[in-house]
Chain A
Amino acid sequence: MALLPVADIIYSVRTLSAAKSRTLLTMLGIIIGVMSVVAVASVGQSAQDLVLGEVQAVGANRISIFPGGSQENTPPPIVMGIVSTTLTERDYRAIRDLPHVVVGSPIVTSVASLTYKEKSFMVQVWGVGEEFPALQDARIASGRFFSRSDVESYGHLAVLGSKAATDLFGDEDPVNKTIRLKDAAFQVVGVLQERGSSIGQGQDSQIFIPVTTAQKLILGITYINAASVKVDASNHVTQAIDDIKYTLRRRHHITDPAKDDFSVRSADTAIGILDSITTVINVFLLVVTAISLVVGGINIMNIMYVAVRERTREVGLRKALGARSRRIFLQFLAESSMISLSGGLIGLALGAAIAYGITLVAVQYGLDWSFSLSVPAIAAALSVSTVIGLVFGVAPAMAAARLDAIRALRYE
């Protein structure tokens, strides 16, 4: 006997299409389930690609060093708002002198009141080194960035982000104007080009001053909040990280790496963390939608039980004409799988349409969003829906196969 008898399938198709709205209702759970699985999987993948893409764009070959020790895969303490004082500008200089390190900057961040003429407001002030534009791939729109000697001499110089410049000066040229930061006069020496926002930070509204000046004048501290460097090639990142750790341990007289008072992170570790977070979210969403698939399966099972009862005479007739129980079982099992697989196909189409619609919207909003519908996701959606039809079709099909031919023929 063929595993899928053609005549049975044709009969099932006719029976199912004779009661279209009921068949659709039977499929509804599966349609919604597969639709959500496909949409969630696709959108989740696109979002993950987007976030990781941004991180990679910003962070290629970049290593960041933070004060305070931490585990490899947890954020450094500074992220939690814990202030550590164990990293200094001299530590940064030692790191900067390591082989493979091509550019870098120490970073301290603060918020200070800024005054120009009658205008006064709070701005983000970043104390950075002279290489900061090269580190961040930032371009100078006008004027210049401050130099190493400006940093060493505690220069009262400021470079404005593009938005900070227009907010403060409008159409005026800010270069050589004097502004007041925390009541000290600073000379504006340059303006940065607009950079757009990289993940979560409007970098265009910031004001940059020499790190030494920020430490002494604005914050009154001797440590730095972070240091960031780039290495010459991605295959040197691991070597550079080891060198940095070695250098800092020597400088901080640390012999046991478990007692490190600093944390070193590269884009790779950041990507690893982000990757695991987004994967967890995706898995969670998939589990939730998989539950709706099970509900869809139970729905199919119930309606197949009703169908078996309604078609009792048909089963009796088929048995009288020589159908073995196993054949009746396969007929109804094939029918529930067909319902489920068709529902899966409809759900797949709808889910893909939703994901595509979201792509169109995201692109409208200027996101670098790409539509992704992986072959494994499609295969999973379709095989899961077939399996659900099989699993939840077993009990009704067994009930059909067990029907007594005579009773079934007498059934009205």
Chain B
Amino acid sequence: MPPLIRLEHLVKEYSDSEQPVLALDGVDLTIEAGDFVAIMGPSGCGKSTLMHLLGFLLSPSSGKYFLEGKDASSLTDDERADIRNRRIGFVFQSFNLLPRTSVLDNVLLPVEYMPDADRAAARKRALELLKLVKLSHRLNANPNQLSGGEQQRAAIARALINRPALILADEPTGNLDSKTSDEVMDLLSELHHEGHTIVMVTHEEEIAARAHRTIRMKDGRIVSS
């Protein structure tokens, strides 16, 4: 069986600014299904760029991206949108919940972009996920009524709604205090144990320690994995 993700000499150059920036300088990486990977490295070394490439928010300048053995290096915008919708679950540092929208509707937001979704089944799953992230009592709350930890848990539920093959979390605890960080990490560990594949960027060694393995980056390259 092919690995979930295989990157072959992936290069990303930002060329639209005055000075082209080589953010990723030939990255080779394999991620197996069920992996829990932490990515560490100094600021500006290309961690977020790698996450965006993994999450189909960016296209590589050169190199190959194989998703479940299929070449996904050059896709149209709409094809990438559909993969983001069905295969990827994003967890952001700043939660990014829609304002004036209930926790339940926030969790269901990705379903809006699935034309053939079974609405009733999605709603049932959203309720289960909110139970999993211990927010069953806040279904109808608006995001601004939640604590940071609660918001991030709601965001994790949203990331899981479409049963993604890959969960990408770019500094998911970056905006949280240590106690709520632990809660969120407990949740991610639980998801890992249930079989989810997670790639997470972090600055903190003890957070990285909860992952299965840690990749260290410097100047757009992987220096140890």
B78 in contact (CB, < 8 A): yes
Stretch at the interface among B97-105, B130-138, B195-203: B97-105
- The answer on a CB contact under 8 Å between B100 and A320 is no
- The answer on a CB contact under 8 Å between B100 and A322 is no
**What 0/1 pattern do residues 57 to 77 of B give for CB contact below 8 A with A?**
110000000000000000001
Which of A5, A14, A314, A320 is the most central at the interface, judged by chain B CB atoms within 10 Å of its CB?
Answer: A320
- The answer on a CB contact under 8 Å between A317 and B84 is no
- The answer on a CB contact under 8 Å between A325 and B77 is yes
- A12 and B129 CA atoms in complex are apart in Å by 26
Return chain B residues, CB-CB under 8 Å to A18: 100
Majority-rule SS of A interface residues: helix
Q: Which residue of B lies closest to A1 (CB)?
A: B115
Q: Within the complex, which residue of B81, B101, B110, B162 is in contact with A324, where a contact is CB–CB below 8 Å?
A: B81
Stretch at the interface among B85-93, B181-189, B211-219: B85-93
Return chain B residues, CB-CB under 8 Å to A313: 96
- The answer on a CB contact under 8 Å between B85 and A11 is no
- The answer on a CB contact under 8 Å between A321 and B84 is yes
Q: Within the complex, which residue of B85, B96, B98, B101 is in contact with A322, where a contact is CB–CB below 8 Å?
A: B85
- A406 and B81 CA atoms in complex are apart in Å by 13
A384 in contact (CB, < 8 A): no
- Nearest-neighbour CB distance to chain A for B80, whole angstroms, equals 9
- The answer on a CB contact under 8 Å between A321 and B92 is no
Q: Which residue of A lies closest to B86 (CB)?
A: A322
A51 in contact (CB, < 8 A): no
B149 in contact (CB, < 8 A): no
Return chain B residues, CB-CB under 8 Å to A321: 84-85, 90, 109-110, 113, 158
**What 0/1 pattern do residues 50 to 72 of A give for CB contact below 8 A with B?**
00000000000000000000000
- Nearest-neighbour CB distance to chain A for B114, whole angstroms, equals 7
- A314 and B85 CA atoms in complex are apart in Å by 16
- The answer on a CB contact under 8 Å between A322 and B114 is yes
Interface size class, chain B: 20 to 34
B13 in contact (CB, < 8 A): no
- Nearest-neighbour CB distance to chain B for A244, whole angstroms, equals 75
- Nearest-neighbour CB distance to chain A for B145, whole angstroms, equals 15
- The answer on a CB contact under 8 Å between A320 and B77 is no
Return chain A residues, CB-CB under 8 Å to B112: 5, 7-8, 323
B123 in contact (CB, < 8 A): no
- Nearest-neighbour CB distance to chain B for A23, whole angstroms, equals 14
- The answer on a CB contact under 8 Å between A317 and B98 is yes
- The answer on a CB contact under 8 Å between A320 and B84 is yes
- The answer on a CB contact under 8 Å between B81 and A11 is no
- The answer on a CB contact under 8 Å between B78 and A324 is yes
Interface size class, chain A: 20 to 34
- Nearest-neighbour CB distance to chain A for B48, whole angstroms, equals 8
- A391 and B162 CA atoms in complex are apart in Å by 36
Q: Which residue of B lies closest to A11 (CB)?
A: B101
- A409 and B51 CA atoms in complex are apart in Å by 13
- The answer on a CB contact under 8 Å between A14 and B101 is yes
B9 in contact (CB, < 8 A): no
**What 0/1 pattern do residues 290 to 325 of A give for CB contact below 8 A with B?**
000000000000000000000001100111111111
B82 in contact (CB, < 8 A): yes
Q: Within the complex, which residue of A14, A314, A318, A406 is in contact with B57, where a contact is CB–CB below 8 Å?
A: A406
Return chain B residues, CB-CB under 8 Å to A11: 98, 100-101
B220 in contact (CB, < 8 A): no
Return chain A residues, CB-CB under 8 Å to B109: 7, 318, 321
**What 0/1 pattern do residues 209 to 242 of A give for CB contact below 8 A with B?**
0000000000000000000000000000000000
B41 in contact (CB, < 8 A): no
- Nearest-neighbour CB distance to chain A for B97, whole angstroms, equals 8
- Nearest-neighbour CB distance to chain A for B73, whole angstroms, equals 18
- The answer on a CB contact under 8 Å between B90 and A320 is yes
Given contact pairs A15-B100, A314-B98, A317-B98, A322 touches B115 in the complex (Cβ within 8 A): no
Return chain B residues, CB-CB under 8 Å to A406: 52, 57-58
A interface residues (Cβ-Cβ under 8 A, vs B): 1, 5, 7-8, 11, 14-15, 18, 313-314, 317-327, 405-406, 409
What are 12 residue pairs bridging A and B, where the CB atoms are less than 8 Å apart in the complex? A1-B115, A7-B112, A11-B101, A318-B113, A320-B84, A321-B85, A322-B82, A322-B84, A323-B112, A325-B81, A406-B52, A409-B92
B interface residues (Cβ-Cβ under 8 A, vs A): 52, 55, 57-58, 77-78, 81-82, 84-86, 90, 92, 96, 98, 100-101, 105, 109-110, 112-115, 158, 162
Q: A317-B96, A325-B78 provided; 16 other pairs, C-beta below 8 A?
A: A5-B112, A8-B112, A11-B101, A14-B101, A320-B57, A321-B85, A321-B90, A321-B109, A322-B81, A322-B82, A322-B86, A322-B162, A324-B77, A326-B78, A406-B57, A406-B58
